[in-house]
Structure 1
Amino acid sequence: MRPLPSLVRAALALLAAALLASVLVAPSGTAATASAYAPLNRPGPALHVAKATLAKALVCHNDLRTAPGEPVLLSPATGVTPVQNYSWNYERAFRAQKRAWCTVTMPFHTLGDIQTAGEYLVYAIRTMHAKAGRRIAVMGHSQGGMSMRWALRFWPDTRAMVDDVIGMAGSNHGTKAAALSAPEGSKLPPASLQQGAGSNFIKALNSGAETFAGISYTEIYTHTDEVVQPNNTAANSSSSLHTGNGMITNVATQSVCHGDVFEHLTVGTIDPTTYALVMDALTHKGPAVPSRIGRASCSKLYQPGVDPTNVQTYVQVLAAAPGLLAVSVPFVNVVGAPEVSKEPALRCYVYADGC
């Protein structure tokens, strides 16, 4: 096994440092009771993003109906595109498996309003399910490991279309990294503010139920996560899910490999233990079962699909830097994302009174 070159590790470490202040704590706003939000089974609203725009954002590979294994929708993290997040790791692994997968490209490098990203995911889930003629998996890293739950929460028809939800360091309950907040009055992209532990978005996301019957949820996190916090113990893991009727596995990589050191960025891109858990979920009924994994991944330095001799590995890691900097550094925004001083208002469909 060739070691992962120091250049890749150094580049990922720099990007991790850029993200250290990301997913900031948003203003908590007015508290809302569970009954203030939409009933769990109220039909979702019409999509407002143009259909042509949604269709252009969804790119699929291999035949969704006939390719072996469960088709996978890859949802990107905050600040990056699917190409930057997955083309040099999971896409290469899926290609080797001859598995069908699709990617969805969100506006503004996934820095815009996550409620809008939710519409992209609703369209992607519906389209993939129709083309595949079977249920699909939705998988993502960081914001991408959480945002599909917005679609499932507020568009109930999508629940019967999804078999697996797989989150890698998902920001399911935001972050409490308050000490990392930007100076008061700073403007940041909407997705950064929406992923604070006290945000109105996070409260609405988790209202009523965090999971739904018939769906398997595999939530993978790492105790060394410096972005989504707290994730240092099983009891208080921000990434974990607990309520609702879905089948749930919450698992820290350290519970499989005690010495696992992969942090927020690397857990969703190169960590072999995360990959093993992902594949266990995709190849078995129900969520991942950590006891099936064994310790074979613990001695590996990177997951299948990552090729340290391929220049694209370095190109995509470095290409992600501008978007990741925009996540958390005020006034450093070269990717065109909007900047706001408070999180976007919740859409009317979120509330019990509706639109």
Structure 2
Amino acid sequence: MPTLSTYAFAAASFLAAASVASPTPAKDPSIITKVAVRTAASTTAISKSNQLAAALSSFSAGLNSISAAVTVGQAILTQIVPAPGPTAIPQLQAELQNITTANDGDIFRSGAEIVLNGLAGGNYAQIANAYLIDSTTVNINLVQPTTSVYPNASSQDAPYSLSEAALRQAIYIPPGFTYGRIPPVIFLEGTAAFAGQNFGPNYGKLLTGSTFADPVYLNVPMRNLLDKQLAAEYTAYAVNYISGISGGNNVSTISWSAGSLDGQWALKYWPSTRAKMSNKICISPDYHGTIEAQSACPGVTTPECTPAIAQQNYNSSFIQTLRNNGGDSAYVPTTNVYSIFDQIVEPQEDPNASGFLNDARMVGVTNVELQSVCTAVLPGGEIYNTHEGVLYNALGYALAVDALTNGGPGQLSRVDVKGLCAQVATAGLSLTDIEATEALIPIAALAILAYEPKVAVEPPIMAYAQDVPAS
């Protein structure tokens, strides 16, 4: 089994080279020393469906026993998931044994296999960077915005309950950030993920070095499993802060799954963010939550769950509050891309897709159900376009680029729909990138198991969000 062991020298050089103006991860370097650089890198482009099928099937070929699954699951918790406490590992062992006994092919077993196989011998250095550098939650960002953004950027904004120090340190700004010379793009992670691991192997890789998008990673503590109202605070602050250190230029956000909820709540209750955003691009969003939310909390006694997942129950108080008074319509130009084969967010099929957003304010919204455009026959609409699979879908990425380069939401009329629907995955991604993206689901599942304290009910709606008129 690969260990996280020899990345220290590269990581140390990376940190030492960062300028004072760039954020410096405050993470203990001893954690980074556990990461190994795999020398047998694979950058195989994906041009045929059987290549992708082979990559996905590797998730189910590598473990011969439940005990191995438990061992690797334990490694995931101790090396990737924040320290779960002394009682979590025995509990995890019992849960994994129960789960894998019931279903040898489930996502927990897959997650163990991913780590065991070292991402199938792929470019582990890139993935290690995404997990341990881009995903840092404690960053030192010394650059001050040109105008004050805390305690509020506007008198209409909701009050922050978190300190500015806490809000700012969650923002990871890569050393090459141009501070507005290239339009900033903030990545907002989904549930049980950090933005680095969420986007590093896909959109982050593709956009880094481009002339139209300068990536920044917002890593909400506790892998975005905490109260989503707090996650929205991090989001609102990040939008205003990054704009403020970028010469006042607008930013865009690219979100996956529940990161889209964080962004929508922030836009609703922090109106100052609306004038600072050019585009909101959402991959597999769940503006209406999901009927699968409770089943996303495996291994715990119903109805115990994590705060964020409890809030994503279909028609939860959080969801109803968000959608009331115009929250089911866009506040800024928005592009939503989703798939009927989403195994996490349901329903996700038009006209009742959870990822669908209205446009009452006429700001411009593009809602794209992949199968309605590509059909379920072409690769761009096939069954591997799951919750995480949309992250490497070629049409989805093209619409994001179209929005970022042309302004307003992405337009199908401006992209090569036929050609993109025929692609198995976005050009520029390798089989390794696909596997790393697929790893989001099983590792998230283990993070959910490790999260403490569990909750029996969703967090109460904060006072500022009660009885707010439409705006």
Normalising by the residue count of structure 1, what TM-score does the alignment of the two structures yield? 0.81
Unaligned residue ranges in structure 2 (runs of 5+): 1-44, 61-104, 112-153
Matching of residue 83 in structure 1 with residue 199 in structure 2: no
Structure 1 Cα separation of the partners of residues 203 and 316 of structure 2:
31
Question: 1:209 and 1:169 mapped to 2: Cα distance?
Answer: 21
Q: Is the counterpart of residue 244 in structure 1 residue 244 in structure 2?
A: no
Q: Determine the structure 2 residue equivalent to 1:164.
A: 279
Match for residue 394 of structure 2? 272
Whether 2:416 is the aligned partner of 1:296: answer no
Contact in 2 for aligned 1:139/1:167 (Cα 8 Å)? yes
The answer for the alignment partner of 1:122 in structure 2 is 236
Q: What is the correspondence of 1:93-172 to structure 2 with a 5 Å cutoff?
A: 93-98=206-211, 99-132=213-246, 133-172=248-287
* Cross-structure match for 1:33: none
Match of 2:403 among 271, 281, 286: 281
Stretch of structure 1 that moved more, 183-192 or 172-181 = 172-181
For 2:282, what is the secondary structure of its paired residue?
A: strand
2:70: which partner in 1?
A: none
The alpha-carbon deviation at position 227 of structure 1 amounts to 1.5
Q: Which amino acid aligns with 1:277?
A: L
For the aligned residue pairs, the C-alpha RMSD in angstroms reads 2.9
Identity %: 26
Cα deviation, residue 113, structure 1: 0.7
**Would the aligned equivalents of 2:294 and 2:310 in 1 still touch at CA under 8 Å?**
no
Q: What is the distance in 1 between the residues matched to 2:274 and 2:402?
A: 21
Q: CA deviation at 1:42?
A: 7.7
- 1:307 matches 2:422: no
Structure 1: gaps spanning 5 or more residues: 20-40
Residues 292-311 of structure 1, C-alpha deviation per residue, up to 9 Å, x if partnerless?
Answer: 2222222322224422257x
Q: What is the CA-CA distance between 1:150 and the residue it aligns to?
A: 0.5
Once the two structures are superposed, residues 245-293 of structure 1 have per-residue CA deviations (whole angstroms, 9 ceiling, x without a partner) of 031111111233223121111112x111211121121111211111222
In the alignment of these two chains, the number of paired residues is: 320
Task: Report the structure number with the largest CA radius of gyration.
Answer: 2
Distance 1:227-1:42 versus aligned 2 partners, 3 A rule: farther
> Relative to structure 2, which stretch is displaced further, 151-160 or 177-186?
177-186
Matched, 1:220 2:337: yes
Deviations along 1:43-99, one digit per CA (max 9) or x if unpaired, are 2233121222221110123213112xx321100010111122111111111114143
What SS is found at the alignment partner of 1:345?
coil
Structure 1 residues 315 and 242: CA distance shift in structure 2, 3 A: closer
Which residue in 1 is equivalent to 2:309?
Answer: 192
d(CA) in 2 for partners of 1:124, 1:287: 21
The residue number in structure 1 matching 2:168 is 55
Question: If each structure's helix is expressed as a fraction of its own residues, which one has the higher value?
Answer: 2
Residue aligning to 1:349: 464
Q: Which residue in 1 is equivalent to 2:371? A: 254
- Is the contact between residue 256 and residue 295 of structure 1 (CA under 8 Å) also seen in structure 2? no
The answer on whether the counterparts of 1:84 and 1:317 sit within 8 Å (CA) in structure 2 is no
Quick one: structure 1 residues 10 and 199, their matched pair in 2 at CA, closer, same or farther if it must change by over 3 Å?
farther
SS of the aligned residue for 1:93 comes to helix
Assess if the C-alpha contact under 8 Å between 1:219 and 1:239 holds in 2.
yes
Question: SS of the residue aligned with 2:172?
Answer: strand
User: How far does residue 185 in structure 1 lie from its aligned partner after superposition?
Assistant: 3.6
Instruction: State the structure with bigger RCO (CA 8 A, min sep 6), 1 or 2.
Output: 1
The equivalent residue for 1:65 is 180
SS at match of 1:264: coil
In the alignment, the residues of structure 1 paired with residue 226 and residue 412 of structure 2 have an alpha-carbon distance, to the nearest angstrom, of: 34
